Each structure stands twice: as structure tokens, then as C-alpha cells.
Amino acid sequence: MKHLDLTLPTPEENLACDEALLDLCEAGATDEVLRFWEHPRPFVVLGYSNKTGVEVHLDAAQRANVPVLRRCTGGGAVVQGPGCLNFSLILRIPGSGPLTGVTETNHHILQRHHDALLPVIGDALRVRGISDLTLRDLKISGNAQRRKKNCLLFHGTFLLDFDIELVEHLLPMPSREPHYRRRRPHREFLTNAATARAAIKTALTNAWQATEPLRAAPVDAVRDLVRNRYGSDEWTFKF
């Protein structure tokens, strides 16, 4: 597996990079990849099928000059920005085994991350809900996936030193929630792991044996995806 630690200049480019890497792997043009990135400015990201007016306080985002974007994977709306460490996994789907279905993939990857991060984060670490990692019942990581015929994208965020009040300000209560949330507001449901970035990166890199660097990012494909999708209001506000 290749390793890529790369934050591109804009939120749109960073979202597009994940899809570009997935497309390249699907085409057989690159190997499996583990990527890390962390954007220095806040932005909101909708899940692929989220309804914009339901899942985001659009007026608050506009007043705060926080961009609202949409990703290609499922799940709910999130706020990104400084203090959120993102990872992206591009994996091939074998003919059999734990990556052949959505539920099985969630369980397999989250359990691997749990086991790798337990010595780093501590024994309060849990796998909860459909695709969350928590400190007991406080969420520190949400994850989502997109599947093609031969490859999949699984990506997520670790809250390390993020401004959780910003989530409270920009996002209403989600239209769907995991059972363990129990209708708690964002400030009572989310928490920071307060763990060093380098420690998390090292643990996941070792868990996936992503030791060889990816020599070149898919710059042209990212540019095309931003122009045709991620930078387009038609894409962002389609629901």
C-alpha cells in the first residue's frame, strides 16, 4: 500500500483528491493508498444524499463565511477544519472476505483501527454505531465509504483539538442518528481525542503497512473533479 500525506490548498481539492485516487485505483493505474490531510480553515461537508436545507444551518454558514460542500460518500453532514485529522483508504475489493459488503467493510476497518489505536488513545476506545469510533460513548471519529466494482474509498476524521462549538453553531441535530447518541446535542456527543497527530498517523500507517510513498498526486484528475463537481453549486445543492 502507498502512503500519501497531502493537504491541498482548498477544501474542494481535498475532497476531489479522494475520489481521484479511487478512480485511478479502479482503472488499475495506482495501488491501494492511505492518505492523511488536515485543512486549516473550517468548512461543512454534506454526505452524498443529504438534503442541504435540512442538515446545515445555511444562514449561519454564510454569515461565518464557512463554505458548504458535498462529498461522494454517504453518512451525515460534518464540520471540518483545523483540529480534524482526516484519513482516506483506497482499497481493492477482493472476491471474498470482509471487504465484499458495506457492513462487513465498516466492521473490518473500524476494528483494525480500534486495535491499532488502542495503545495510543487508551482503553476507553470503542467501535459504536454504524461507523464511529468513540471514547466510551463520546464520538471522536466518523467514517463513510463509496464503492465501485473493483475498489472502494473509506475515509473519516479524528477530532483531536477541534472547536466543537462550531459544529453546534453550523449543524442542526441530524435527521438520522446512531442509537447510542440518545438525542444529545453536538457539544454533549462529540469530544476531542487529545492525541498527537503523529501517533495516530504512525499507528494507522503501520496497521495498513503503507510504507511506500505515493510519488505523484493525481493533480489533473483533481482539477477536473473540482471544475465539474466539487466546485459546482449544482453538485453541492442538488438535494
pLDDT tens digits, 72-108: 999 999 999 999 999 999 999 999 999 999 999 999 9
Q: Of 26, 33, 43, 28, which Cα lies nearest the Cα of 1?
A: 33
Residues β-bridged to residue 133:
127, 141
| DSSP reduced 3-state for 2 | strand
- Would you state the pLDDT for residue 209? 97
Q: Which pLDDT score is estimated for 30?
A: 86
C-alpha 77 chain-centroid distance: 11
- Side chain identity at residue 157, one-letter code: T
Contact 190, 168 (CB under 8 A): no
pLDDT digits over 199-227, tens only?
Answer: 999 999 999 999 999 988 999 999 999 99
**Residues in CB range of 227: below 8 A, 6 or more apart:** none
CATH no. for 2-232: 3.30.930.10
The pLDDT value given to residue 201: 98
151-159 and 84-92 as β-strands: parallel, antiparallel, unpaired? antiparallel
pTM: 0.96
Compute the distance between CA of residue 87 and CA of residue 194 in angstroms, rounded to an integer. 17
Parts of the chain with a pLDDT under 70: none
Q: How far apart (Å, rounded) are the C-alpha atoms in residues 179 and 83?
A: 26
Domain ranges, ordered by start, for the chain: 2-232
Q: Which residues contact 231 (CB under 8 A, 6 or more apart)?
A: 12
